[in-house]
Amino acid sequence: MASLAKDFFIGLSNNDFLNKSARKFGTRFGAERFVAGTVFDAIIPTIRELNQKQIACTMDHLGEFVTDRQEAEHAKEKIIDMLHQIHNEKLDCHVSIKLTQLGLDIEEAFCIQNVEQILEVAHACDIFVNIDMEKYIHYDRTLKILKLLRKSYLNVGTVIQTYLYDAEKDISDLEDVRLRIVKGAYKEDSAVAYSSKAAIDKNFLVIAKKRLLGKTFTSIATHDHHIINELKKFIEEHQISKDHFEFQMLYGFRVDMQHQLVKEGYKFCTYIPFGEDWFGYFMRRLAERPQNLNLLIKDIFYTEDNKLKKQPIIIGAAALTMLLYLRKRK
């Protein structure tokens, strides 16, 4: 059942028509719990508030699988504007980008050029840029581009997904690179990725521990308290400095735990997605945790003070009447 729900939401996240249609609605249907807004300006107070609570942020201007050059260039401009604003407003904030938003599926050289322009501004503003890891079909090219960019820019890193069989081998090549370790959010073939939670979690721990003992800063990105607790023990046993790593979670997830980790003296960073292309991101979050569907249903059917909204009742009643009518006609 859980796997069916996962496949269903992953399927929706890849649906081009739904992704495009959702842009018209702004963040709605419960997505506003996980997507901070549609424009960066409006989110600055949220970032400031988190910074005041010792929480750093990484901003994701949502968008992926772009197939139009103008759209990719527009995304690049938006990211560059955001870098200037982060710098001018002195926010404790870095940026996460996706190569398919910047033209990877259009032309590799064009994508690299876009990322170089972003990195140039980020370097001038002293801001780190993280390249999110997407579906496996983009994996090798993402690592290849990262290595190429690292020859000119040191303010760039990427993500390793522990569901991939190759993850452990690949981190040995990335010892000098700041990495974020995640389980992996996409549906991948069993030829390249583990599918059982136990195997993915085991690999997460192996990789995170190797990185913690290594020489470069690592972001441990998970909401899984079992993993966090085991790593906390490991960190203490090996007397690893709290400046050598940070925990990361997504905006709107396990907020109490985010604050608790800060209280315990750990570095913490919240990943904040924003923008009009929220649909694919939101569907992947529902795929990971179908319980989030409860929030969505609550938002559709109930007002903030827990009263049933009238509109869905009217639509539901109309749909039911229609169904009964059609059955009667048969």
| Interface residue list for ligand FAD (CB under 6 A) | 132-133, 159, 161, 180, 182-186, 221-224, 248-250, 253-254, 271, 288-289
Could you confirm whether 180 is annotated as catalytic? yes
Backbone angles phi, psi at 247, to 5 degrees: -95, 145
CB 185 to ligand FAD: min, Å: 4
Q: Which is nearer to ligand FAD, 246 or 276 (CB)?
A: 246
> Do the beta carbons of residue 105 and residue 67 sit within 8 Å?
yes
Q: How far apart are CA 210 and CA 200, in angstroms?
A: 15
> Do the beta carbons of residue 27 and residue 38 sit within 8 Å?
yes
Q: Looking up tokens 């506003």, which residue turns up?
A: 32
CB 254 to ligand FAD: min, Å: 5
- Which residue in 180, 211, 284, 285 is the catalytic one? 180
Could you confirm whether 254 is annotated as catalytic? no
Catalogue the long-range contacts made by 168-176 (C-beta closer than 8 Å, 24 or more residues apart): 168/203, 168/206, 168/207, 168/210, 170/143, 171/207, 171/210, 171/211, 173/143, 174/143, 175/214, 175/215, 175/216, 176/150, 176/215, 176/216
CB 30 to ligand FAD: min, Å: 13
CA-wise closest residue to 79 among 65, 64, 93, 59: 59
Residue 259 corresponds to which tokens in the numbers above? 């604050």
Burial (CB count within 10 angstroms: exposed 0-12, middle 13-18, buried 19+), residue 203: buried
> Do the beta carbons of residue 83 and residue 95 sit within 8 Å?
yes
Q: Which is nearer to ligand FAD, 64 or 276 (CB)?
A: 64
CB 222 to ligand FAD: min, Å: 3
> Do the beta carbons of residue 161 and residue 167 sit within 8 Å?
yes
Q: Which is nearer to ligand FAD, 86 or 324 (CB)?
A: 86
Q: Which is nearer to ligand FAD, 114 or 248 (CB)?
A: 248
CB 289 to ligand FAD: min, Å: 5
CB 223 to ligand FAD: min, Å: 4
Q: Looking up tokens 């496949």, which residue turns up?
A: 7
- Which residue in 60, 132, 170, 201 is the catalytic one? 132
Q: Looking up tokens 């495009």, which residue turns up?
A: 20
Q: Which is nearer to ligand FAD, 286 or 318 (CB)?
A: 286
**Apex 103 CA angle, 102 and 109, nearest 5:** 110
Rg of the Cα trace of the chain?
A: 21
Q: Which is nearer to ligand FAD, 70 or 194 (CB)?
A: 194
Active site residues: 132, 180
